[in-house]
């Protein structure tokens, strides 16, 4: 007997730019808890999960892992790309960056309005490789979704067929023998090999930096010992072969689907022979990953490159370490121009996103600066709100190629440029980012995985001795609970349960 229930879902587009965004990442935990609650309370035998937006996907996966029944994921599908009147492809990132261009006077209000009305032309998860589409794509690599889950457009006959196929498959498993049923419990599919496979694909496509946060939390729920430091080892062995908006504004999910989809990406990167890609792992359809991608081919090498012609010989995400991020920081290298991979600049510090937005708009940030936004981590925010506005303003105001930005918060999947997030330890727990002062010299080298501040050990010790982290006043009982239980970004911002 089918039984339908819903979870909550925060729309980041509506929550962006005000304190509503503080509730976005915490909603992942509510979603996981609600899945666990209903599935256990009603003793349901199997589950078909229909997510789309970014916290919903990992929240559902986390909840499903706790319950450990056979589960298939099938998202609502990706959004079509939009077009300006001149035929230029556009999307959500275009709209946010257009605000910066308007503030600078580069475009008129009518041009801004045209972009606003055209950037999101249909239903579905925003059309680039932003966080939602990144997670829906990784669900294929994890083996818990059907081929095409991450790339087939919403509201199309192909998407409806995928949904019907997924529903039929989960019913087959639910009614199967006990041996077959046990074989397809989600933890038998989403295991250590699957986690590594997902990160391999993430590197190949240059997914959202938020995937790191979510995959660390998923690994924890799966009982897999996977640390932030493992990611660079995977990155070194995987070629970056697909650039999708926001890293390349002309390419969107529908283009990846047309060029062969995730299966073509997996098949191509398997040719490099990385020890981290294990094609023997089981998928929810009953075949191994190797069998699934056996006949996949790249249909357009301008969209999905070959391993002989990659965008980069290393993956599209990197973890940086140094005295500024002793437990790590995350950067989407796929979105950085070659001239910004090594950068040195003076810190200009803001205690929160709102302060940073005003500073950027007022012209306080100049070429050569490193914008520091702190007290936006899981605990300091609290909630680690997504920051698309500051990075989009930098881009729109022409600073994207001359200004770096670091934060203990996180970015939208639509962010591009030298934007380094998840700095851990965060300011609220006494991390170095909280000790920075305007004018401190910060050094960033993506290729050597380094982020540091040019201060002596003695100066750092002095600042630490005189430092007391700021604690924000909160009226929300839920955010108070979240702040008390959440770990930092290097642990996936998972909640402590012990």
Model pLDDT for residues 273-322, shown as the tens digit of each residue: 888 999 999 999 999 999 999 999 999 999 999 999 999 999 988 999 99
Q: What is the Cα–Cα distance from 226 to 66, expressed in whole angstroms?
A: 18
The C-alpha atoms of residue 90 and residue 67 are separated, in whole angstroms, by: 40
Pick from 298, 297, 333: which is nearest to 312 by CA?
333
Residue of 387, 388, 389, 397 lying closest to 363 (CA atoms) = 397
Q: What is the pLDDT of residues 214-257, one digit of tens each?
A: 999 999 999 999 989 899 999 999 999 999 998 899 999 999 99
pLDDT in tens, 39-58: 999 999 999 999 988 899 99
How much is the pTM? Answer: 0.93
Per-residue pLDDT band for 415 (boundaries 50, 70, 90) equals low
Q: How far apart are CA 88 and CA 101, in angstroms?
A: 16
Predicted confidence band at 387 (pLDDT cuts at 50, 70, 90)? confident
Indicate the length of the chain as a whole number: 498
Catalytic positions: 412
What tens digit of pLDDT does each residue of 3-49 get?
999 999 998 888 887 889 999 999 999 999 999 999 999 999 999 99
pLDDT tens-place string over residues 158-190: 999 999 999 999 999 999 999 999 999 999 999
Q: Nearest Cα to 441, choosing from 460, 454, 456, 450?
A: 454
44: Cβ contacts below 8 Å, ≥ 6 apart:
3, 38, 69
Q: What is the mean pLDDT of residues 75-80?
A: 96
**Nearest in space to 399 (alpha carbons), one of 332, 316, 340:** 340
Angle made by CA atoms 15, 17, 19, in degrees to the nearest 5: 65
Confidence at residue 401, expressed as pLDDT on a 0 to 100 scale: 83
- Single out the residue of 495, 492, 498 nearest to residue 225, CA to CA: 492
Mean pLDDT over the full length of the chain: 93
- Predicted local confidence at residue 17, as pLDDT: 75
- Two structure tokens written together for 249: 């504004």
Judged against a pLDDT cut of 80, whether residue 376 lies above it is answered with yes
DSSP string for 51-73 = --STTHHHHHHHHHHHH-SBEEE
Please give the C-alpha separations between residue 27 and each of 23, 49, 319, 472, 495, in angstroms, as whole numbers. Answer: 6, 17, 25, 20, 12
pLDDT above 90: percentage of residues in the chain: 79
Among residues 208, 207, 262, 200, which one has the least CA distance to residue 226?
A: 200
pLDDT tens per residue, range 130-154 = 889 999 999 999 999 999 999 999 9
pLDDT of residue 416: 67
The alpha carbon of residue 367 and the mean position of all alpha carbons in its chain are separated, in whole angstroms, by 27
Taking CA atoms, 86 is separated from 90, 95, 105, 114, 126, in Å, by 11, 16, 20, 11, 21
């Amino acid at each position: 007997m089918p039984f339908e229930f819903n979870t909550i879902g925060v729309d980041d587009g509506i929550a962006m730019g005000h304190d509503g965004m503080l509730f976005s990442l915490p909603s992942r935990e509510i979603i996981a808890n609600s899945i666990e609650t209903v599935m256990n309370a009603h003793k349901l035998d199997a589950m078909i999960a229909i997510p789309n937006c970014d916290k919903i996907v990992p929240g559902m996966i986390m909840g499903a892992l706790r319950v450990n029944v056979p589960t298939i994921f099938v998202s609502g599908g990706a959004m079509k790309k939009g077009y300006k009147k001149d035929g230029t492809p556009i999307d959500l990132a275009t709209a946010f960056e257009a605000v910066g261009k308007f503030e600078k006077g580069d475009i008129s209000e009518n041009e801004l309005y045209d972009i606003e009305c055209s950037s999101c032309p249909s239903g579905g998860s925003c059309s680039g490789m932003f966080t939602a589409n990144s997670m829906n794509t990784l669900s294929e690599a994890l083996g818990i979704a059907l081929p095409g889950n991450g790339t087939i457009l919403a509201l199309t006959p192909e998407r409806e067929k995928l949904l019907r196929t997924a529903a039929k498959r989960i019913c087959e498993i639910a009614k199967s023998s006990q041996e077959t049923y046990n074989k397809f419990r989600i933890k038998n599919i989403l295991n250590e090999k699957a986690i590594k496979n997902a990160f391999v694909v993430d590197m190949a496509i240059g997914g959202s930096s938020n995937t790191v946060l979510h995959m660390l939390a998923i690994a924890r729920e799966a009982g897999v010992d996977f640390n932030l430091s493992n990611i660079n080892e995977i990155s070194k062995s995987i070629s970056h072969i697909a650039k999708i908006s926001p890293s390349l504004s002309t390419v969107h999910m529908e283009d990846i689907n047309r060029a062969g989809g995730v299966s073509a990406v997996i098949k191509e990167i398997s040719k490099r022979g990385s020890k981290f890609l294990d094609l023997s792992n089981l998928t929810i359809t009953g075949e191994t990953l190797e069998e699934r991608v056996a006949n996949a081919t790249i249909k357009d090498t301008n969209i999905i490159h070959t391993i002989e012609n990659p965008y980069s010989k290393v993956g599209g995400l990197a973890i940086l370490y140094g005295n500024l991020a002793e437990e790590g920081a995350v950067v989407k290298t796929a979105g950085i121009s070659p001239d910004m991979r090594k950068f040195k600049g003076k810190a200009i510090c803001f205690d929160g996103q709102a302060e940073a937005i005003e500073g950027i708009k007022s012209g306080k940030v100049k070429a050569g600066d490193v914008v520091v936004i702190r007290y936006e981590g899981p605990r300091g925010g609290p909630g680690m709100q997504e920051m698309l506005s500051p990075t989009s303003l930098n881009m729109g105001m022409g600073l994207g190629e001359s200004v770096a930005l670091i934060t203990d918060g996180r970015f939208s999947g639509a962010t591009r440029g030298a934007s380094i997030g998840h700095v851990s330890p965060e300011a609220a727990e006494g991390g170095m980012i909280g000790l920075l002062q305007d004018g401190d010299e910060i050094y960033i080298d993506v290729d050597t995985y380094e982020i540091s501040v040019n201060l002596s050990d003695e100066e750092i010790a002095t600042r630490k001795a005189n430092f007391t982290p700021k604690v924000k006043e909160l009226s929300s009982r839920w955010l108070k609970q979240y702040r008390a239980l959440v770990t930092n970004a290097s642990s996936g911002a998972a909640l402590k349960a012990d």
